Chain A
């Protein structure tokens, strides 16, 4: 079974670890918006270099960064080719560098932030929406589920593809995608049951 080291913290005591989680999350969002707004090939490349420097300074292993980026590579290659053809290479560089910067920043954030702290920050942030009937604990739980389901879904995909291969069906998208979709939904059901059984969906 192949698993991704997503959502895992890198222990450490760098300035990135010590930043209060709420401010770090806000910073991540603002930085993300800022990075997306950058124009031309050079500024996004500079942003990527800075993001990489921050990641390495925070002690994020290069391997985690590579694993975080790898699932996107094919997509990025396609986007880059399309953009080069339609709008020229500077735009292609801009898009690719921006995306990679966001992934690196997000990876650094999760690596330096205990999930429990993240949940607390989300609970506090979502507390603003309480008058609208939003349950902050539930928002936080949704958040952590989204994070933790990534490696599980990746594993399901690998297993389904291997099962199709074992039956000589690796060329058939139906033999992979249909059972993958079914198993993903089944997994979601099982997780829902497990959460309900732990009383996590019930009102306080």
Chain B
């Protein structure tokens, strides 16, 4: 399993008068297959997730994936880390379903036929084989999210970071996306407000106001989150 190592990470953002701290002194070494991140709106979960592939940079401390430092080996880290966003539409860049998956393969697979074959296999795996030639805009939100995941998996990452991937989906689509993510071979870092889903992971972090206040077995972490929120 891949490892994500955060050591004393602090993230700041500039404001009109100085800067704000978005995350402070976060340390966590994640080796479990499925790690959940829970916490209130604005607590810093997305910031934490985006650190892992360098979409957000640390002001101090270090972020490493499989021993590679995000700050110095950004491209190599991004080749290992796939990222699934909340909004599926923004992640899809090609006109048709098949082409969007093929786009992910462009950098590794130069032969066009081979690319198409591999893309079709990825689509079959995710249950979208029969939609290969339709417009990405004609898919439902849930199907778009599945396609976004297919685009990510086609890059053969070792880690998948997902930031509230099921928030916009209905029960059935959310279920499909969840099962796909939880059953992957890749390591999963999953930001979610769905506490049942968090409980199904192997470890959970609770983020409160820019701090990781609990890092534990998911049952206990979720209990901590619920208690500290409702008390």
Contacts and interface: CB of A to CB of B under 8 A. Distances in A.
Interface of A: 3, 5-9, 11, 114-117, 119-120, 137, 141, 144-145, 147-148, 151-152, 155, 187, 190-191, 193-200, 202-204
Interface stretch (B28-36, B60-68, B93-101, B185-193): B93-101
Contacts of B92: 148
Contacts of A116: 99, 102, 112, 115-116
Contact of B135 (A5, A193, A202, A204): A5
B96 A202 contact: no
Contact of A199 (B79, B99, B135): B79
A193 B136 CA distance: 19
A193 B85 contact: yes
Given A197-B83, A199-B78, A147 B107 contact: no
Nearest to B76: A202
Interface in B92-129: 92-96, 99, 102-104, 106-107, 112, 115-116
Interface residues of B, number: 37
Given A115-B94, A115-B99, A116-B99, A198 B112 contact: no
Given A3-B135, A190-B85, A115 B75 contact: no
Most buried by A among B54, B74, B90, B95: B95
B181 to A, nearest CB: 15
Contacts of A198: 78, 82-83, 91, 103-104, 151-152, 155
Interface string B24-51: 0000000000000000000000000000
Contacts of B83: 194, 197-198
